[in-house]
Amino acid sequence: MEIRRVFCRRCQTVKQEKLAWLSDNPFYTKRFAFMVGRRCRVMTITDVAKEFRLDWKTVKELDKQYMREQLRKTGTPAPQVIGIDEISIRKGHTYRIVVSDLIRRRAIWFGGKDRSEASMDEFYAWLGPKKAKKIRLVVMDMWKAFEKSAKKNVPQAAILYDKFHVIRHLGEALDKVRKQEYARLSGKDRSFIKGQKYTLLSRKQNLDLDGRRSLRKLLRANKRLNTAYLLKETFGQLWSYDTEGWARRFFDNWKDALKWQRLEPYQKFMQLIERHWEGIAAHCHPDNKVALGFVEGLNNKIRVIQRRAYGLRDEEYLRLKILTCMLEEI
């Protein structure tokens, strides 16, 4: 089919007729571009290029058009509850910030130059003061720059520290105890500890039969690791309380159990919780009850996207992938 062209006297250039059913690439229809985009949701660019016998650059551009249309149809976000996280996009600690709408369960912003307060401020500037006033809850890790930015830009919002990040700090403390014991012991006592990092850090119900056997042997052989493991397993109860008073009583009892254990990494973890208690205890308020499982699901999808896009330097493509990974197909 021939596409008409006209000469514009004002700008002295030739303009091409726009047809609603054509993609941005005039050699393909929108219908075909969207079919390619749907395939790219579950396959790599290289595999899709082989399937359709296209150049991989063409596939990527068609996929970009598909994702931009997804975002256009979804509309402009006006979140009430947001989740803030960061991802590493390259080696050398190059970070970008991802902000999610935790009610509509979708990523809404990807940007910043690092994890700084200034980079976080960019999100609130993009959202605008009118929409920022509607935010009532900000869920984040305990990174100070994110907290400072939230208090400055959305002072009306409550701050809630993400349970998964808190538990991750406790897991790191347990692993430090494991390393200390490995360095202190020798011979048979040391052999029980070797290679058991993920056995210790995993929840007991997530271990297979061999994993549970290894865990039992390890905990019987090492009293300090047994104590550290039990303290790690019981700490999760903190999020089961509906009032701050009962949550505080549980934490105080947990601290008392630490007194004579000589677990220095756990002491540092306890001090971290004390410094951030207000944001952790915020989960007890009925208005702050949000399903945080979505955050983990999004993080898992982002890791898959990064593996598939390994070697690609197109940050705009990564941005579109992350912003659309939780959206419905079109």
Q: Using alpha carbons only, what angle is made at residue 196 by residues 192 and 201, rounded to the nearest 5 degrees? A: 135
Distance CA 192, CA 206 (A): 20
Q: 81-162+292-324: what fold?
A: Nucleotidyltransferase; domain 5 (3.30.420)
pLDDT at 22: 59
Distance CA 105, CA 87 (A): 18
pLDDT at 202: 85
Q: Which residues share a beta bridge with 13?
A: 8
pLDDT at 23: 64
147 touches 159 (CB < 8 A): yes
pLDDT at 185: 80
pLDDT at 49: 93
Could you give the percent of the chain with pLDDT greater than 90?
Answer: 57
pLDDT in tens, 61-90: 999 999 999 999 998 889 999 999 988 887
Q: Show contacts of 34-41: CB within 8 Å, 24+ apart.
A: 34/66, 34/69, 34/330, 36/62, 36/63, 36/66, 37/62, 37/63, 37/65, 37/66, 37/67, 38/66, 38/329, 40/66, 41/329
**Domain residue extents for the chain:** 5-74, 81-162+292-324, 163-280
221 touches 189 (CB < 8 A): yes
pTM: 0.84
Q: Which residues of 219-250 are buried (b: 16+ CB within 10 A; e: fewer)?
A: bebbeebebbbebbeebeebeebeebeebeeb
Weakly modelled stretches of the chain, pLDDT under 50: none
pLDDT at 17: 59
